[in-house]
Amino acid sequence: MKFKDYNINKAIKDQLDEMGFVRATDIQYKAIKHILDGEDVMAIAQTGTGKTAAFAIPMLHFLSQKSKYSKGFVQCLVMVPTRELAQQIANVFKEIGKKTTVKVLGLFGGVEQDTQIQQLTSGIDILVATPGRMFDLIAQGHLNVDEVRYLILDEADLMLSKGFNKDIQDILKKIPKKRQTLFFSATIDKKIKSLAYDVVKNAIRIQISPKNPVAQTVEHAVAFIEMDDKRFFLENILSEYPDKRILVFVRTKVRAGRVVAAMKRVGIDSEEIHGGVEQKERFSILERFRKGENLVLITTDVSARGIDIPNVDYVINYDIPDDPENYVHRCGRTGRGEKKGQAISFCSDSEKQLLADIEEYTGEEIMHYDIHPDDYKEILEDTDDLTYNWQKLIDKDNLENGTEEKW
């Protein structure tokens, strides 16, 4: 269904058209009508399917209809598990609602609260918040949730895994019982169902669950590469595609630093993002990546869930993730919406069981990218890392000194 055919505010339709959003994705098609009808919705859909717009569009429509702001009172509360998600989802609301007068605030910790308090005081319609900062400002008397009419829980499964169940129960006690509630999650199990039934009432249940949870827009494969050789293969890909936006996932923040340093030695610029990077700097790094000012981002799984970075050309799993679900979420950073994307995983001998776990989880064998031994050797020998490639170092010295000695 095309967005122009929905019974929503023309200002929103015009903005969607400018953004290039013409036709609703599956989750949007199945959710928007029920939300517009005022029904509670429980939606399960894999990452990259357009969940945010599925609730943002009808919420913006509802709140663009009112004649004036209820100063200091939030009408729509969106609870999310991470700061990056809070900022990202708030930005989606702002972008889609650019032609409306709806006011949106992303509320999260790690930054000074004074500016956030000022915005709340001036009047906010939609609040996208992480639990910590939200409850801090409620306790300080700067945030009133007594008039919330719409509650949205996004990435509910991740909220549970991060231990936010009590926070969810606490907010339910503070907001009106008469409200519309939307519950969005990438996965479903007994705990998620139990939480959902605590939150929603007579909800419409929507589930987008293809046999393989990796989005159909993503072509993904695995290459078998020894652990100590991975940096050379990453160098090879980054050198071959210097103009592509590439997201590289590693297991730990220590690994992230080492990979950034390895790429620097061969003249490839990259940045790292993980839990050890200060929040303000994390936002700056993500923004540079979004704008294309930096095309290579080395990250841990802090960026695997829910972060919407447009036009990521390649995802590289430098390390195989321990959790099969994270494989799906990592791959979901490319091939967003209806766009095509590619993901390649480097698998060492010690990671083959992790790969088997992923294949069991997805229900399909991941395509193998076979590397001929001669090609494998050539990639190792072609590195610009002179601490490894002694022949290149000798050749460079010979060129500089006018000699032709070789080992």
pLDDT band at 404 (very low <50, low <70, confident <90, very high): very low
What does the pLDDT average to over 230-240? 94
What does the pLDDT average to over 372-391? 81
pLDDT at residue 176 in the model: 93
pLDDT band at 58 (very low <50, low <70, confident <90, very high): very high
- In the numeric block, which tokens belong to residue 261? 């340093």
pLDDT at residue 395 in the model: 54
pTM check: above 0.75: no
- Kindly tell me if the per-residue pLDDT of 274 is higher than 90: no
pLDDT band at 41 (very low <50, low <70, confident <90, very high): very high
Would you say 256 and 274 are in contact if contact means Cβ atoms under 8 Å apart? yes
pLDDT at residue 402 in the model: 54
Would you say 156 and 183 are in contact if contact means Cβ atoms under 8 Å apart? yes
Nearest Cα neighbor of 185 from 201, 199, 171 is 199
pLDDT above 70 coverage of the chain, percent: 89
pLDDT per position as a tens digit, 105-122: 999 988 889 999 999 988
Would you say 338 and 49 are in contact if contact means Cβ atoms under 8 Å apart? no
Distance CA(301)–CA(274), nearest Å, equals: 8
- Kindly tell me if the per-residue pLDDT of 304 is higher than 50: yes
- How would you write 359-388 as a 3-class SS string? HHHHCCCCEECCCCHHHHHHHHHCCCCCCC
pLDDT per position as a tens digit, 151-209: 999 988 888 888 888 999 999 999 999 999 999 988 778 888 888 888 888 899 998 76
What does the pLDDT average to over 354-372? 89
- Kindly tell me if the per-residue pLDDT of 355 is higher than 80: yes
pLDDT at residue 232 in the model: 94
pLDDT at residue 78 in the model: 97
Average pLDDT score, the chain: 87
pLDDT at residue 399 in the model: 52
Domains of the chain: 3-208 (3.40.50.300), 218-371 (3.40.50.300)
Spatial strand order in the sheet of 271-273: 271-273, 296-299, 246-249, 314-317, 341-347, 218-224, 367-368
